[in-house]
Amino acid sequence: MGIVALAGGIGAAKLLEGLYAELGEDLTIIVNVGDDDTFFGLKVSPDLDIITYTLGGIIDPARRWGLADETFKCIAALGTYYPETWFNLGDKDLATHIFRTDRLNQGKSLAEVSHEIAHKLGLSCTILPATNDIVQTKLYTSQGVLDFEEYFVKFRAGVPVTKIDYRGAADAVPTPGVLETIARAERVIICPSNPMLSIAPILAVPGIRAAVAARRDTTIAVTPIIQGDAVKGPTAHLFRELGYDVNPLGVVDYYGADLFAHFVVDARDEDLLLELSPDRFPLPVNFTMFDTLMVDFGKRLELAKYLLQYPI
Amino acid sequence: MGIVALAGGIGAAKLLEGLYAELGEDLTIIVNVGDDDTFFGLKVSPDLDIITYTLGGIIDPARRWGLADETFKCIAALGTYYPETWFNLGDKDLATHIFRTDRLNQGKSLAEVSHEIAHKLGLSCTILPATNDIVQTKLYTSQGVLDFEEYFVKFRAGVPVTKIDYRGAADAVPTPGVLETIARAERVIICPSNPMLSIAPILAVPGIRAAVAARRDTTIAVTPIIQGDAVKGPTAHLFRELGYDVNPLGVVDYYGADLFAHFVVDARDEDLLLELSPDRFPLPVNFTMFDTLMVDFGKRLELAKYLLQYPI
């Protein structure tokens, strides 16, 4: 049985800390690979690493990505050979990318390598990339069609987006175990990640959206938008640019009410629920409130417990 | 025209500093690739890097390999994923291996990549790997058949060797330009590298030994053995283990007198020449003496000038 969480990177990691503390090996995390990219010939999987490093207790606590006590000597030296080194890779972090690249070149799947990395870091939960195939989140902007990392790091998410697509998704196959785990899970949790950049590339892999929708009654999503803004990242202005309300209701509109029956709004947005019309969505969604800001580990654990105990 | 030097790594680099200062773009260096290996999926070319870093003025002055002001964070982190991390790669140095691997995987030849690296480091001389193919120096020992780096780094050159071979050499092709450059050079200099581990793998590539021998009259070798020992490295005990005299005459025996007509013995070994019988070798070799220890840049330049002006 167990619990399944759909997750991106930074937005999901805090909640996953709480869920992992509660569940250990009973937690399966299905992770976005739409941000994955190749830099200097090295295969980088940002969301997988953020989650693995966070749960392994070695994440940089200020940046919330990369490793604590990191140095950046190699990336500086790479500037001798490459014209662009805007994607900042720490010296210790590079070891993970070197290992991943080496194993993938030996014919291992991304899921196998991710399992090895999680195992080496001592994690007992299951971490599955949504697919072993390549899915690339592409953002259409005035600067052209950008890869996620170009958009997010090089342009600091500062250029307006007119369209997003998940290139390769239509031909991708879910990682073995993903559909089965969703089908058998006690409940499915959609983490407070960026819906368009982190969760949608997972759902775009054929079969995954339908598998979650089939578990609609036991699926709970957590809002990534609190009081009209995201805790971190470009969620709010992407919603605005692409024509959605920048509030939890816009999040439900974007996902579609067929995906989940339960939605956690931050307690700070209580007013929104008071005015909510019962026929606002084509299918009824149970809204509930909790503190979703998760400022410390105690708050992460509280939200995790709430999601696990919430009556469905 | 110009000057060609056959070179390994540390033993050659001092002399090459002097030759490069004198010759600049008129110097072509043909470099051993028998020590090349793959670590963590990264292609490492120790001798090419030692030479490029030395001539680029960025070599670590104490170790005489790797880069100055180096840190070793990534290799420590690689220990999380790999059981063996005895091959110590600095964080800045890794940038070179990452770049080389990336380019080779894109289909570039080792010669093309080596040219790019030399160019990025601002070098004007030509640096050519002996071959673009894989040649691996294998040492037969009581610990089994070892790769060069296993023998040299992991076992600290501390196990007796019964045989050496240059695997792949018979099927290797000289890098384009190597044979032509040797044929047209004003003179050919064999650097004071380890004959068995550094120069022999170059000569083992079909065509190269014959090309040098065809220029015997204008080829000068410099002894790597001074007063019964090598300045650095395992040359002396390899010579002993494989049945050669541990002195400059043993070096000529090993190379074969057909390869060069001129040989520079260190001035400290003057006695050896006084007792030398004229028919000691099957072909006459002109022995000459100079200070070959090269303790500082001035001495390196002096030896370089001597080799360039020596009447042949």
Task: Give me B22's structure tokens.
Answer: 């004198």
Is the Cβ of B80 closer than 8 Å to some Cβ of chain A? yes
Q: How far is A14 from chain B (nearest CA, A)?
A: 24
Query: CA–CA separation, A221 vs A193, rounded Å?
Result: 10
- A-B C-beta contacts closer than 8 Å: 88
| A121-171 residue pLDDT tens | 999 999 999 999 999 999 999 999 999 989 988 899 999 999 999 999 999
Largest pairwise CA distance in chain A: 61
Is the Cβ of B136 closer than 8 Å to some Cβ of chain A? no
Is the Cβ of B98 closer than 8 Å to some Cβ of chain A? yes
Is the Cβ of A98 closer than 8 Å to some Cβ of chain B? yes
Instruction: Determine, for residues A82 and B101 on separate chains, whether the beta-carbon distance falls below 8 Å.
Output: no
A208, A174 contact by CB (below 8 A): yes
Instruction: Determine, for residues B98 and A73 on separate chains, whether the beta-carbon distance falls below 8 Å.
Output: no
Instruction: Determine, for residues A116 and B81 on separate chains, whether the beta-carbon distance falls below 8 Å.
Output: yes
Residue spans per domain, chain B: 3-39+124-138+168-309
Q: What is the DSSP string of A213-238?
A: HTTGGGEEEE-SEETTEESSSSHHHH
Residue closest to B54 by CA, chosen among B62, B63, B64: B64
Instruction: Determine, for residues B73 and A81 on separate chains, whether the beta-carbon distance falls below 8 Å.
Output: no
Nearest to A99 among B40, B106, B117 (CB): B40
| A84-108 residue pLDDT tens | 988 889 999 999 999 999 999 999 9
- At residue B278, the pLDDT reads 85
- At residue A11, the pLDDT reads 86
Pairing of strands A136-141, A161-167: antiparallel
Is the Cβ of A143 closer than 8 Å to some Cβ of chain B? no
> One-letter amino acid identity for B79?
G
Could you tell me the end-to-end alpha-carbon distance of chain B, in angstroms, rounded to an integer?
16
Q: How far is A68 from chain B (nearest CA, A)?
A: 12
Residues of B in contact with A80 (CB under 8 A): 95, 120-121
- Is the alpha carbon torsion for B287, B293, B299, B301 positive or negative? positive
Is the Cβ of A81 closer than 8 Å to some Cβ of chain B? yes
Give the DSSP H or E segment for A5.
Answer: strand A3-7
Structure confidence at residue A1 as a pLDDT band (50, 70, 90): low
Could you say which DSSP state residue B59 is in? B
Instruction: Determine, for residues B78 and A99 on separate chains, whether the beta-carbon distance falls below 8 Å.
Output: yes
Topology of the domain covering A3-138+168-309: Rossmann fold (3.40.50)
Distances (CA, A) of A288 to A37, A273, A292, B24, B87: 37, 9, 11, 75, 56
Residues of A in contact with B121 (CB under 8 A): 80
Instruction: Determine, for residues A95 and B78 on separate chains, whether the beta-carbon distance falls below 8 Å.
Output: yes
A132, A31 contact by CB (below 8 A): no
Residue closest to A37 by CA, chosen among A46, A25, A29: A46
- Give the mean pLDDT of B90-100: 98
Structure confidence at residue B1 as a pLDDT band (50, 70, 90): low
Residue closest to A266 by CA, chosen among A294, A285, A235: A294
Task: Give me A150's structure tokens.
Answer: 């170009």
Write down how long chain B is. Answer: 312
Instruction: Determine, for residues B102 and A76 on separate chains, whether the beta-carbon distance falls below 8 Å.
Output: no
| B10-22 residue pLDDT tens | 989 999 999 999 9
Structure confidence at residue A47 as a pLDDT band (50, 70, 90): very high
Pairing of strands B262-266, B286-290: parallel
Distances (CA, A) of B48 to B6, B32, B51, B52, B134: 12, 8, 5, 6, 14
Instruction: Determine, for residues B40 and A102 on separate chains, whether the beta-carbon distance falls below 8 Å.
Output: yes
In the sheet with B136-141, reading across from the earlier edge strand, the strands are B144-147, B136-141, B161-167
Is the Cβ of B78 closer than 8 Å to some Cβ of chain A? yes
Query: CA–CA separation, A4 vs A25, rounded Å?
Result: 11
- Considering the four listed CATH numbers 1.10.10.10, 3.10.20.30, 3.40.640.10, 3.40.50.10680, the one that applies to the domain covering B3-39+124-138+168-309 is 3.40.50.10680
Nearest to B74 among A80, A94, A116 (CB): A94
Could you say which DSSP state residue B268 is in? G
Q: Is A45 helix (H, G, I), strand (E, B) or coil?
A: coil
Instruction: Determine, for residues A95 and B80 on separate chains, whether the beta-carbon distance falls below 8 Å.
Output: yes
Q: Which of A49, A91, A93, A106 to mutate to test the interface with B (most CBs of B within 10 A)?
A: A91
Could you tell me the end-to-end alpha-carbon distance of chain A, in angstroms, rounded to an integer?
16
Q: Is A66 helix (H, G, I), strand (E, B) or coil?
A: coil
- At residue B198, the pLDDT reads 97
Instruction: Determine, for residues A74 and B95 on separate chains, whether the beta-carbon distance falls below 8 Å.
Output: yes
| B161-178 residue pLDDT tens | 999 999 999 999 999 999
Query: CA–CA separation, B312 vs B187, rounded Å?
Result: 9
- Give the mean pLDDT of B279-300: 95
Tokens 């194993």, residue located: A103
Could you say which DSSP state residue A175 is in? P
Residues of B in contact with A82 (CB under 8 A): 99
Could you say which DSSP state residue A118 is in? H
Instruction: Determine, for residues A94 and B77 on separate chains, whether the beta-carbon distance falls below 8 Å.
Output: yes
Query: CA–CA separation, B67 vs B102, rounded Å?
Result: 20
Q: How far is B44 from chain A (nearest CA, A)?
A: 14
Say if pTM beats, i.e. exceeds, 0.90.
yes
Residues of B in contact with A98 (CB under 8 A): 40-42, 74, 78, 98
Buried b or exposed e, range A99-126, using 16+ CB within 10 angstroms: bbbbbbeeebbbbebbbebbeebebebb
Q: Which of residues 265-294 of A touch B (CB under 8 A)?
A: none
Is the Cβ of B143 closer than 8 Å to some Cβ of chain A? no
Mean pLDDT of chain A: 96
| B185-221 residue pLDDT tens | 999 999 999 999 999 999 999 999 999 999 999 999 9
A129, A114 contact by CB (below 8 A): yes
Instruction: Determine, for residues A77 and B96 on separate chains, whether the beta-carbon distance falls below 8 Å.
Output: yes
